[in-house]
Amino acid sequence: MSIVIYNSLARKKEPFTPLEPPRVNIYTCGVTVYDESHIGHARSLYIFDVMRRYLKYRGFDVKFVRNITDIDDKIINRAHELNVGWQELVKKYIDRYYQDLEVLGIERGDYEPRATENIQDMIRHIEGLIDKGYAYVTDSGVYFNVRKFKDYGKLSGQSIDQMLKRSARIETDETKQDPLDFALWKKSKPDEPGWDAVFEVEISDDGYEELVKEAIWNNDEDFLKLNNIDKSQWKK
């Protein structure tokens, strides 16, 4: 009996065909460890644990990765609220998380990468996005420019304008070019943990010229203003 799985992008059920059978790679988001896990976490954990076990039962070699977010604003704010170090807070709730997994009978991931263990890879990827014109630097950090990515929203089936109307999680920041742009990197405050990173716009001459021409053609005033570009000095 073949396995059929729902493809969220195609909006239909399709036969499950691994890229490199019998190997199956699964990556899923784990918890942000600033508080106790709740029923919503348990639901997600159970769903993917069942999928993992069933695929193993069917003979697949499953590699299961579930990350742990061990640094973000919620963690920093919670540590300040409780007057404890952020690392102490993280350790406490990671330990509680693993206790919950054991009680629920849910297996740990084969690999559970932590955000703080992958900072240098994050910096490298962010630099690549800046170089390609998909991210920009502000006084508060680095943001992804959602309108530069033409397929943004395709997976959810919503246009950018629809997301703008419906989103309740838009972060207010006057330095952003668009309300939907989201932070890739935030500059730390004096009393917050931080990592050294210098982000600069280093684009090849050809790449920069293409970005400028595209901005002029699309009348992208935000990009032109941000980069101090005089349209009269360029040809479309």
Whether 90 and 135 map to the same domain: the answer is no
The structure tokens listed for 93 are 């709730």
- The confidence score (pLDDT) of residue 205 equals 47
Regarding whether 155 and 101 lie in a shared domain, the answer is no
3-state DSSP helix/strand/coil % of the chain, to nearest 5: 40, 15, 45
Euclidean distance between CA atoms 130 and 122, whole angstroms: 12
The predicted model gives 63-72 an average pLDDT of 96
User: What is the CATH classification number for the domain harbouring 23?
Assistant: 3.40.50.620
Structural domain span for residue 161: 131-202
Kindly report the CA angle at 145 between 73 and 189, in degrees rounded to 5?
A: 30
Higher pLDDT, 79 or 232: 79
Q: Is 64 helix (H, G, I), strand (E, B) or coil?
A: strand
Domain count, the chain: 2
Q: Are residues 43 and 88 in the same domain?
A: yes
User: pTM of the entire structure?
Assistant: 0.80
**Average pLDDT of the segment spanning 132-158:** 91
Under a CB-based contact definition with an 8 Å cutoff, are residues 175 and 139 in contact? yes
| Residue 179 dihedral angles phi and psi, to the nearest 5° | -55, -30
Query: Is there a single domain that holds both residue 112 and residue 23?
Result: yes
> Where is pLDDT greater, at 175 or 37?
37
Residue 149 included in any domain = yes
Of 63, 53, 57, 34, which Cα lies nearest the Cα of 106? 53
The reply to whether 24 and 106 lie within a common domain is yes
Regarding whether 109 and 25 lie in a shared domain, the answer is yes
Judgement on whether residues 86 and 139 belong to the same structural domain of the protein? no
> Which of 116, 145, 170 is where one domain is finished?
116
Is 209 strand, coil or helix?
helix
Residue 47 lies in a domain: yes
Which tens digits make up the pLDDT trace of 74-120? 999 999 999 999 999 999 999 999 999 999 999 999 999 999 999 99
Instruction: Considering only the C-alpha atoms of the chain, give the largest distance between any 2 of them, rounded to a whole number of Å.
Output: 67
Model confidence pLDDT, tens digit, residues 158-196: 888 888 777 656 667 788 888 889 999 999 988 899 998
> Are 110 and 38 within one domain?
yes
Determine, yes or no, domain membership for 79: yes
Verify that 146 and 111 share a domain, yes or no: no
Q: Are residues 162 and 198 in the same domain?
A: yes
Q: For residue 229, what pLDDT is reported?
A: 64
Query: What pLDDT shows up at residue 100?
Result: 96
